[in-house]
Amino acid sequence: MLIKRPSDIPPSEITPRELFDNRRRFIRDAGLLTVAGLTGLGGLNANAFAATSGQSLGPLLASPFSTDEEQTDLKSVTSYNNFYEFGTDKTDPLANAHKMQVRPWTVSVEGLAGKPRTFDIDDLIKLAPLEERIYRLRCVEAWSMVVPWVGFPLAALLKEVDPLGSAKYVEFVTHYDPEIMLRRPVIDWPYTEGLRMDEAMHPLTLLSFGLYGEVLPNQNGAPVRLVVPWKYGFKSIKSLVTIRLVENEPATAWNKAAPQEYGFYSNVNPEVSHPRWSQATERRIGELRRRPTLMFNGYADQVASLYQGMDLKKHY
């Protein structure tokens, strides 16, 4: 049963601060990531889902891919955002993204597939057990966060549609509604992104439905977004409506907007400078001192082999 709340209440007001804080303390103290959801609003079955941001996602698997670095506080994660459809300031998404209706919602998985299919979001979320994965997100603007994302590998969804051998890349498209989103063409709307097939199938590539054990807030890309932790944040496309298996490298929104600045691969790489700034260091939200940026955002052991023999200065 979905309980709808007025869409103009920001999630920060729906769930009392104490609830978040207590739950986080409980999770940390008990080390019980797998029961994170049980401490929340209670009574929900595994993968039970509601469209309301702030609602518990139920029991979650702990992921061996998680980092044990200190997590960025929930308030920063949900109030300092990039979601240009809702404005270009960091505070705009929180102020405006509540206008987006995230139910009903479908995701079409199409293109070079044996069994292309349109998924209702509430069916999509049941395809695989939900995991909590604490991943770093590193923005090209040189700030970073550590977020407990909830989701499952994108590979679990792609396998459902039987990709054809000719599918070499995956193109992703964000919902676009000019009635509630920016019309000014900062980006050639809709926002699009892309991954090579092996990147899309990599177990680190996450389809995320939530954070901190709860339904993804709209400003973070509800009802479903990508998290690709070894790439700059703009690859982690929000509010997905289309996933298309294609033969050729797809055009991507930021590459079209500024090709000298944003390439297709966009792997976090401290050795390759952005034309207007160094990429060697970053500021973790909540910290004062900058820290050195790690190759592949610290995920080199898992992903460096994908790029063997490639010149990453050329393929930035």
Ligand X SMILES: Nc1nc2c(c(=O)[nH]1)N[C@H]1C(S)=C(S)[C@@H](COP(=O)(O)O)O[C@H]1N2
Q: Which residues bind ligand X (CB under 6 A)?
A: 81-85, 137, 139, 174, 191, 220-221, 233-234, 236-239
User: Among residues 139, 145, 222, 253, which is the contact residue for Mo ion, using CB under 5 A?
Assistant: 139
Q: Which CB, 112 or 147, lies closer to ligand X?
A: 147
Instruction: Work out whether 151 is an interface residue with Mo ion (CB under 5 A).
Output: no
Shortest Å, Cβ 234 to Mo ion:
5
**DSSP code, position 73:** P
User: What is the bridge-based pairing of β-strands 214-215 and 206-211?
Assistant: antiparallel
Shortest Å, Cβ 309 to ligand X:
29
Q: Which H or E run contains 307?
A: none
Shortest Å, Cβ 308 to ligand X:
27
Looking from the CA of 139 toward its CB, the CA atoms found within 13 Å total 15
Residue 168, classified by CB atoms within 10 Å of its CB into exposed (0-12), middle (13-18) or buried (19+), is middle
**DSSP code, position 127:** S
Distance CA 18, CA 206 (A): 29
Q: Which CB, 15 or 220, lies closer to ligand X?
A: 220
Instruction: Work out whether 255 is an interface residue with Mo ion (CB under 5 A).
Output: no
Q: Which does 172 bind (CB under 5 to 8 A by kind): ligand X, Mo ion, none?
A: none
Q: Which CB, 174 or 205, lies closer to ligand X?
A: 174
Cβ atoms of 314 and 307 within 8 Å: the answer is no
Q: Which CB, 71 or 220, lies closer to ligand X?
A: 220
Tokens of 102: 């995230």
Distance CA 118, CA 105 (A): 10
- Map the footprint of Mo ion across residues 51-110, applying CB under 5 A: 82
Q: Which does 220 bind (CB under 5 to 8 A by kind): ligand X, Mo ion, none?
A: ligand X
Q: Which CB, 236 or 252, lies closer to ligand X?
A: 236
Tokens of 132: 């909590």
CA-based end-to-end distance of the chain: 46
User: What is the bridge-based pairing of β-strands 61-62 and 131-138?
Assistant: parallel
Q: Which residues is 118 bridged to in the sheet? A: 108
Q: Which CB, 166 or 286, lies closer to ligand X?
A: 286
Instruction: Work out whether 145 is an interface residue with Mo ion (CB under 5 A).
Output: no
Instruction: Work out whether 226 is an interface residue with Mo ion (CB under 5 A).
Output: no
Instruction: Work out whether 137 is an interface residue with Mo ion (CB under 5 A).
Output: no
The owner of tokens 């977020």 is 147
Q: Which stretch binds Mo ion (CB under 5 A): 140-148, 152-160, 214-222, 252-260?
A: 140-148
Shortest Å, Cβ 258 to Mo ion:
13
**DSSP code, position 91:** T
Instruction: Work out whether 233 is an interface residue with Mo ion (CB under 5 A).
Output: yes
Site residues for Mo ion per CB under 5 A: 82, 139-140, 233-234
